[in-house]
Amino acid sequence: MKAIVLQGPDQPLALQEVETPAPKTGEVLVQLKAASLNRRDWWITKGKYANISYPAIIGSDGTGIVTAAGSESDAHWIGKELIIYPAHNWGDSEEYQSDKFSIIGLPPHSGTFAEYVTAPIAHLQLKPAHLSWEQAATLPVAGLTAYRALFTKAGVKKGDTVLVTGVGGGAATFALQYAIDTGCRVFVTSGSGEKIERARELGALAGVSYKAQDWAEQLKQLSGGFDIIIDSALGDGFSKLLDVINPGGRIVFFGGTAGGNLPELNGRKIFWRHISILGTTMGTPTEFADMIDYIGENKLKPVIDAVFPLADAEKAFRLMDDSSQFGKIVLTV
């Protein structure tokens, strides 16, 4: 089969011929139709991700058709169109992942930027019929991360006022769509006026540039305050979120694009106003199934910025270099 194999940090991404994997008992072989990029993949290509080893077939989001099963008892999966849960060993707790947790796309688990991949049957979910292959490929990492952040951690409900920071990234854009679909008043921040306008077209009420010195004051005036804030930036601006969160509000973060550490925070603002600050990452297999069901029942259509053939993976990654995309970047196989 052909696959994108990363030989080392900052090495060109080229399509190579590699051995097609064979499914073991409890697994199936999936002929991939589409895959999508995540910021994690970009960091891996730069050599700036934990526990990297080379060579690696990268990619964690994938959707396709089952072409073989590891045992006859699982042959009924053959021909089914599905989406793959992108991780292994979440563990027994719904609250946090185990110390053996890993996301596919690094050895020993080959990724989805390939013509075929094996997957445990327990990790398979049927593709919602209303989604194209390209749309379905966007869901696993970003869609699940946003789902857990907004529904499990933040407990979002109709009528909440929600802020999504850094809109345009994959998970942030899913959070925007979920919150709007739930019936929330949604506001956004971005460094791009064009991205703010795109968010408004999707249903956001307003947006503010985080480059403005008074961005927090602008948000407070526009919204009156937030019940929920979904953040992926951290950095120095995180402390200002305490000025716009309502009493009893929840701030949920799942990344650190503006810096991996929390700034100094005013503890009195947190405990006196009963504010919850919650970290999260990815999600459980159960949440993955719930997310796919939610997408199917509500007929949500993910936002796609660009589509490239697998052979042009290098071009797709260069589009991520300046974070100019709005929504997901997809590779067709």
User: How confident is the model over 254-274, as pLDDT tens digits?
Assistant: 976 656 667 788 888 899 999
DSSP sequence for 72-124: GGGGGGTT-EEEE--EE---S-SSS--TT-EESSBTTB--SSBSEEEEEGGGE
pLDDT at 102: 95
Please count the residues of the chain. Answer: 333
Per-residue model confidence as pLDDT tens digits over 26-45: 999 999 999 999 999 999 99
Kindly list the distances between the CA atom of residue 285 and the CA atoms of 92, 141, 243, 276, in Å, as whole numbers in the listed order: 11, 12, 35, 25
pLDDT at 260: 64
More confident residue, 19 or 236: 19
Q: Scanning the structure block, which residue is given the tokens 């593709």?
A: 127
Beta carbons within 8 Å of 86's beta carbon, 6+ residues apart: 60, 61, 62, 103, 104, 105, 112, 140, 141, 144, 282
In whole angstroms, give the CA distance from residue 35 to residue 13.
15
pLDDT at 189: 96
- Angle made by CA atoms 157, 163, 167, in degrees to the nearest 5: 120
In whole angstroms, give the CA distance from residue 7 to residue 246.
48
Cis preceding-peptide flag for 108 (omega within 30 of 0): yes
In whole angstroms, give the CA distance from residue 44 to residue 225.
37
pLDDT at 255: 76
pLDDT at 203: 98
Q: What is the mean pLDDT of the chain?
A: 95
pLDDT at 212: 94
User: Is the CA virtual torsion 303, 254, 178, 270 positive or negative?
Assistant: negative
Per-residue model confidence as pLDDT tens digits over 231-242: 987 777 788 999
Question: Which percentage of the chain shows pLDDT scores above 70?
Answer: 98
pTM of the model: 0.95
pLDDT at 258: 59
Per-residue model confidence as pLDDT tens digits over 73-127: 999 999 999 999 999 999 999 999 999 999 999 999 999 999 999 999 999 999 9
What is the pLDDT averaged over residues 262-287?
92
pLDDT at 316: 97
DSSP sequence for 240-252: GGGGTEEEEEEEE
In whole angstroms, give the CA distance from residue 35 to residue 259.
28
* First and final C-alpha spacing in the chain: 11
Inter-residue contact 77 to 67 (CB < 8 Å): no
Q: For domain 143-279, give the CATH number.
A: 3.40.50.720
Domains in the chain: boundaries? 2-138+302-332, 143-279
What is the pLDDT averaged over residues 315-332?
95
User: Is the CA virtual torsion 6, 317, 164, 141 positive or negative?
Assistant: negative
Beta carbons within 8 Å of 210's beta carbon, 6+ residues apart: 165, 166, 189, 190, 191, 233, 237
Fold for the domain defined by 2-138+302-332? Quinone Oxidoreductase; Chain A, domain 1 (3.90.180)
